Amino acid sequence: MLSTIEKWKQEWFSNVKGDVLAGLVVALALIPEAIAFSIIAGVDPMVGLYASFCIAVIISFVGGRPGMISAATGAMALLMITLVADHGLEYLLAATILTGILQILFGVFKLAALMKFVPRSVMIGFVNALAILIFTSQLQHFVNETWVMYAMVALTLAIIYILPKFTKAVPSTLVAIVVVTAIAIIMNAGVRTVGDMGALPDTLPIFALPNIPLNMETLMIIFPYSLALAMVGILESLLTASIVDDMTDTDSDKNKESRGQGIANVATGFFGGMAGCAMIGQSVINVKSGGTGRLSALVAGTFLMFLILVVGDWVVQIPMAALAGVMIMVSIGTFDWSSLTNIHKVPRTDALVMVTVVGTVVYTHDLAIGVFAGVIMSAIFFAWKLSKIKVEEHFNVRTREMTYEVHGQLFFASVQDFTDQLDFNADVSHVILDLSNTQLWDDSAVGAIDKVKHKYGLRNIEVSITGLNKESYKLMEKIGGLNKASGH
């Protein structure tokens, strides 16, 4: 019991100063992203801001990875676009709640281990595709714009990238937004602002049930979205958790994190926010700014809401150009540039999987489909590599006995290759299948052995099997191959 309290104190109050400072920095960085991701999803900035507030605050209590920041994210926003466009905000809130329920189940049944089926090349493709989509989602803001807007974007990016060379005391993103907003107001530039994109919150979020019919039809509409959101949310959250693990040299509870993400999303849906997940960029900013405990996420969430309520009148004046600049920086930061410089070093199939994930996502605008395609493709490549089977022949001229030594894995993908390498017309008296260097994996493998026996049997040549390992023997016994073998 004492250790539980000790752990609780350690997670909350071992780094108060660092956590509070980092939380403040993260809150400032979260505001433009929450607004931009709302605009991507097609909802009022209010929805993303409520989500960021709720998720950050709730995760600080129930998450499994202290020091990680969760809020409204680009990956999730990109999955919601068609749901919002076709059915509206209320369905999005319902989908958010269902997403949370699915994630809680994911955590309860300890499915974090399923992540092992997502190869690293798929994860790299995932972040690269995400970066590209965040970038392309900003292009709409450039359509029919004047050079003033372009100049503002350029200025935003210049400040973001050059200022840190002189001082790291203030976040350069914040300076860029303040400067560009000030210029827009003073020059009366007449550019589009955040205020033109929809309402900002002027109160704390309130609890409400989504205004939707509770029936099968609704479920059929939201379920596919919720499933994709739940998967992508867990995927990005667990990836981020591993990154924070590595940065802080500590461990985390991945199943607790999955449950925590679920609880946060359920609550967020009831409080009028959109589904979110952990954020790689913000978590890195948090740890770099000195945040390692649960307190930093709590501070980030509450300070974000405080700022919006107090300086909301100023936030609506932020030009879309400044926001687009920040998002371009986010997409550059998200992209895994080393995957481009390494592309000739990694196995060609891995590179192909990565490019396929990116291509699929860019084409379908759906990260979940991209991940799915990547996993399937990796599995096929794996089976392909494993299906290479070699049969060595040893012919005893005196006894006219032919021994076939099988090297490799016998399963559905390799059986054709296996039987092709046997000579069924050979002039032999007896065939010995030496299976000591192979393993039988499935029904097809057992079937192939039966087929070999049958084919030689037609010519009255007996086939005997040696070197069968325990697992293969059990499989043959179960499927029935051995019964036939013992029949003669």
Partner 1 sequence: MKRILLAVDGSEHSNRAAEKAIGLARITEDSEIELLYVVDGSRSKTDILHYGDSDAASAKRRRMLAAFEEMITAENISVTSTVLQGKNGVAEPIISHANDGAYDVLVIGSRGLNTMQTMVLGSVSHKVMKYVKAPVMMVK
Binding flag, residue 247, partner 1 (CB under 8 A) = yes
With 0-12 CB in 10 A as exposed, 13-18 as middle and 19+ as buried, what is 35? buried
Three-class DSSP category at 487:
coil
- The one among 11, 90, 145, 336 contacting partner 1 by CB under 8 A: 336
CA distance 154 to 107: 43
Query: Judged by CB under 8 A, which stretch of 116-124, 373-381, 406-414, 430-438 contacts partner 1?
Result: 116-124
Contact 441, 413 (CB under 8 A): no
CA distance 295 to 375: 36
Residues binding partner 1: number (CB under 8 A): 25
Residues 211-240 that bind partner 1 (CB under 8 A): 239
For residue 119 the two structure tokens come to 């190869």
Q: Indicate the residue among 7 and 120 with the shorter CB distance to partner 1.
A: 120
**C-beta atoms surrounding 122 within 10 Å:** 24
Residues ≥6 apart with Cβ < 8 Å to 448: 410, 415, 418, 419
Contact 318, 32 (CB under 8 A): yes
- Give min distance, CB of 346 to partner 1, in A: 9
CA distance 478 to 465: 17
- Give min distance, CB of 432 to partner 1, in A: 43
Binding flag, residue 249, partner 1 (CB under 8 A) = yes
Q: Indicate the residue among 336 and 442 with the shorter CB distance to partner 1.
A: 336
Query: Judged by CB under 8 A, which stretch of 34-42, 102-110, 247-255, 419-427 contacts partner 1?
Result: 247-255
- Give min distance, CB of 214 to partner 1, in A: 41
- The one among 280, 298, 431, 440 contacting partner 1 by CB under 8 A: 280
For residue 48 the two structure tokens come to 């993303």
Residues ≥6 apart with Cβ < 8 Å to 275: 51, 76, 80, 95, 96, 99, 100, 229, 233, 265, 268, 269
Binding flag, residue 437, partner 1 (CB under 8 A) = no
- Give min distance, CB of 287 to partner 1, in A: 5
Contact 294, 63 (CB under 8 A): yes
- Give min distance, CB of 300 to partner 1, in A: 17
Residues 136-195 that bind partner 1 (CB under 8 A): 161, 165
Binding flag, residue 127, partner 1 (CB under 8 A) = yes
Query: Judged by CB under 8 A, which stretch of 40-48, 288-296, 316-324, 430-438 contacts partner 1?
Result: 288-296
Residues 346-375 that bind partner 1 (CB under 8 A): none
- Contacts with partner 1, residue ranges (CB under 8 A): 120, 123-124, 127, 161, 165, 239, 242-243, 245-249, 251, 280, 284, 287-290, 336, 338-339, 342
